[in-house]
Amino acid sequence: MILEEFQEGIVDQAIVFHNTLNPLLWNNQQLKPLIKLALLKIAKDFVTFIGIDFKIIDITISGSNAAYTYTPNSDLDLHIIADIPQAQVKLYKQLFDAKKNQYNYLHNFTVKGIDVELYVQDSRDTHHSAGIYSVKNSRWISEPKVIKVRISDQDVRRKVNNYLGKISSALNTDDLDYIESVQTSIKKLRQTGLDREGEFSVENLAFKVLRANGWIDRLREHKYNVQSEILSVENMK
């Protein structure tokens, strides 16, 4: 399965360079008060949904909507920064990831029409983003800059097709282990790009293109459907 329809301008689906922050969310460099209130309410509901006590260090937003590179498809990354006990990091992260996936699947929160994507982040983890803003403290942790970068459509399109081949294979099987391995593989490839070149890496931009076109959500929903099928009484032996 090849994205032949995206012969030109594939990068524009992932990133557009602006001279101002998204005016739906920001007044100059400050998050609008009603936006802040809405995000804090969503964060509080998510923490309640998780159902365990843990220390919250901060609540932040990041990604394209906290920078000058937003598009109509950009979501709003809302991170709960947590102090996770070092001896239990693996266990906590597994729980937080499972709860995050379940919560994002069950809810469709939007702020000014922008999808909100929730995540619990270990306070010790490095987070790559052009801009990071503390919603809790109303201040920039990493202030974005107005920049423009030349990016090869051809390189991004090639990586998109590489990812899409993996996703297509996963969507055509009920092998849960294989589906999860594809998810993990794509996540690792994206993280490698972020670690090496940051937000404008080919791997990250390709991931954004696929997310904007619904492929990441399709893969996640397919995984949930397969899990439900496996656990249904009718299929138990």
Residue 4 belongs to some domain of the structure: no
Q: What is the pTM of this model?
A: 0.74
Name the residue with tokens 């931009």. 205
Give the pLDDT confidence of 19-35 residue by residue, as tens digits.
999 999 999 899 999 99
User: At residue 154, does pLDDT exceed 90?
Assistant: no
Q: Are strands 76-83 and 55-62 parallel, antiparallel or unpaired?
A: antiparallel
| Order of strands, sheet of 76-83, starting from the edge strand that comes earlier in the sequence | 110-111, 114-122, 76-83, 55-62, 132-134, 139-142
Are residue 23 and residue 128 in the same domain, yes or no? Answer: yes
Q: Which residues pair with 139 in a beta bridge?
A: 134
Beta-carbon contacts of 173 under 8 Å, excluding residues fewer than 6 positions away, are 179
Inter-residue contact 120 to 96 (CB < 8 Å): yes
Report residue 49 as tokens. Answer: 């949904």
**What distance in Å separates the CA atoms of residue 58 and residue 122, rounded to the nearest whole number?**
11
16-25, 86-95, 202-211: range with highest mean pLDDT: 16-25
How many structural domains is the chain composed of? Answer: 2
Q: Which of 7-11, 34-38, 99-103, 175-179 has the lowest mean pLDDT?
A: 7-11
Decide: residue 142, CB within 10 A, 0-12 exposed, 13-18 middle, 19+ buried.
Answer: middle
Q: Are residues 128 and 221 in the same domain?
A: no
- Tell me: do 122 and 226 sit in the same domain: no
Say yes or no: 129 and 54 in one domain. yes
Structure tokens at 212: 């904007």
Q: Is the confidence at residue 9, as pLDDT, over 70?
A: no
* DSSP secondary structure letters along 10-38: SGGGT----SS--TTTEETTEE-HHHHHH
Domain that holds residue 226: 149-235
DSSP class of residue 52 equals S
**Res 108: pLDDT:** 80
**Does 6 reside within a domain?**
no
The residue out of 110, 142, 174 marking a domain boundary is: 142
Q: Tokens 């901060």 belong to which residue?
A: 58
- Show Cβ contacts of residue 75 under 8 Å, excluding neighbours closer than 6 positions: 63, 65, 114, 115, 116, 117, 211
- The mean pLDDT value of the chain amounts to 86
Asked if 100 and 117 count as a contact pair (C-beta separation under 8 A), the reply is no
The yes-or-no verdict on residue 4 having pLDDT over 80 is no
pLDDT band (50, 70, 90) for residue 235 = low
Separation between Cα atoms, residue 135 and residue 38, nearest integer Å:
10
Domain at 120, CATH number: 3.30.460
